[in-house]
Amino acid sequence: MKKKSYWMGVWERFIKNRMAVLGIVILTCLILCAVFAPYIAPYGIDDQNSKTRFIAPCAEFLFGTDNFGRDIFSRVVYGARISLQVGLISVAVSCVIGGVLGAIAAFYGTMADNIIMRALDVLMAIPGMVLAVAIAASLGPSLNNMMIAIGLGHAPGFARIVRASVLSIKEQEYVEASRLIGDSDFVIIMKHIIPNSLAPMIVQATLNVGRSVISAASLSFLGLGIQPPTPEWGAMLSASRAYLRDYWWMTAFPGLAILLTVFSLNLVGDGLRDALDPKLKH
């Protein structure tokens, strides 16, 4: 009963936050776009047509057409699928790897803690984008490899957050009580540690989906991510570079799509942070 009221409180605080609601509305629209892409997009993702090259935005082609005569609006709509997928899966990768490492470091004492944290220090000494580029370069350019590269790159941040919260929970009296009545480590982790360290994880994960979307676009822009003709926003921007001087719409719309996606994810993340931890709110 008590638990339910906590989440109810979170929800009430969340929907009172106008910016957070705006974020969730935009995000819902984007998700609907991604799910129903075949019904929304008037054209296919790779419908090349030499007669419709470089048409400026108009009623027939909302966002104009590109150098192959493809409808940019359709490609941006389908691109939402890829970006949201990359964002979610790479965050899941960071959550699992970072979460497990952080929890082991905090729960199993000095030795494991030292080894894991020093290893993470090393990864954190490499600027994030440089690390993602190096991993992507090593694995080769593809959708899956890109998600692994981004997920690994962001994992140390998760590990630190989980470690900090597990360290503080571990010292709580209810954990000690649980241990005294003979609960195993597994039960303690599942029953006490995970539920209580969930809040900072959720916030970090939401904010990281946005970061991952940007990282994915950046890697594709550099030619280290998704390859054409897949309609990934960063890859579309990379292809548009050569035509920047004459055909602005090829650059403007995929970028706006990224902006809108990350903007809404950040609003939701900020809203969740304030709702989950009212003490932090300024």
Partner 1 sequence: MAKYILKRLLMMLPVLLGVAFVVFTLMYITPGDPAKVILGESATPEAIAAFRQEMGLDNPFLVRFFDYVKGIIFHFDFGTSYQTKKPVLGEILSRFPDTVTLAALSALVAVVVGVTLGVISAVKQYSLFDNLASIIGLLGVAMPNFWMGMMLVLIFAVYLRWLPASGTYGPKYWILPSLTLGFISAASIMRTTRSQMLEVIRQDYIDTARAKGQDEMVIILRHALRNAMIPIITVIGIQFGQMLGGSVLVETVFSIPGVGRYMIDAIKARDYPVVQGTVLFLSACFSFVNLGVDILYTFIDPKMKTMYAKKKS
Q: Find the shortest distance in angstroms from Cβ 272 to partner 1.
A: 15
Cα–Cα distance list, 149 to 99, 129, 212, 219, 270 (Å): 17, 10, 10, 10, 25
**Under rule CB under 8 A, residue 83 binds partner 1:** no
**Under rule CB under 8 A, residue 90 binds partner 1:** no
**Under rule CB under 8 A, residue 241 binds partner 1:** yes
Contact flags string 114-153 toward partner 1, x per CB under 8 A: ----xx-xxx-xxxxxxx-xxx-xxxx-------------
Among 262, 268, 272, 275, binds partner 1 (CB under 8 A): 262
Contact stretch for partner 1 (CB under 8 A) within 76-84, 109-117, 185-193, 209-217:
209-217
C-alpha span between 7 and 2 (Å, rounded): 9
Q: What is the DSSP letter of 51?
A: G
**Under rule CB under 8 A, residue 158 binds partner 1:** no
Among 77, 217, 235, 239, binds partner 1 (CB under 8 A): 217
Report whether 216 contacts 225 (CB < 8 A): yes
Among 267, 268, 275, 276, binds partner 1 (CB under 8 A): 267
- Residue number, 103 or 207, with CB nearest to partner 1: 207
- Residue number, 82 or 166, with CB nearest to partner 1: 82
C-alpha span between 247 and 178 (Å, rounded): 65
C-alpha span between 47 and 178 (Å, rounded): 62
C-alpha span between 201 and 161 (Å, rounded): 7
Q: Find the shortest distance in angstroms from Cβ 180 to partner 1.
A: 37
Among 222, 228, 230, 277, binds partner 1 (CB under 8 A): 222
Cα–Cα distance list, 159 to 108, 109, 172, 187 (Å): 14, 15, 20, 21
Q: What is the DSSP letter of 226?
A: P
Q: Find the shortest distance in angstroms from Cβ 120 to partner 1.
A: 10
How many Å from the N-terminal Cα to the C-terminal Cα in the chain? 29
DSSP 3-state of 277: coil
Residues within the interface to partner 1 (CB under 8 A):
118-119, 121-123, 125-131, 133-135, 137-140, 210, 214, 217-218, 221-224, 234, 237, 240-241, 244-245, 248, 251-252, 254-255, 258-259, 262-263, 266-267, 282
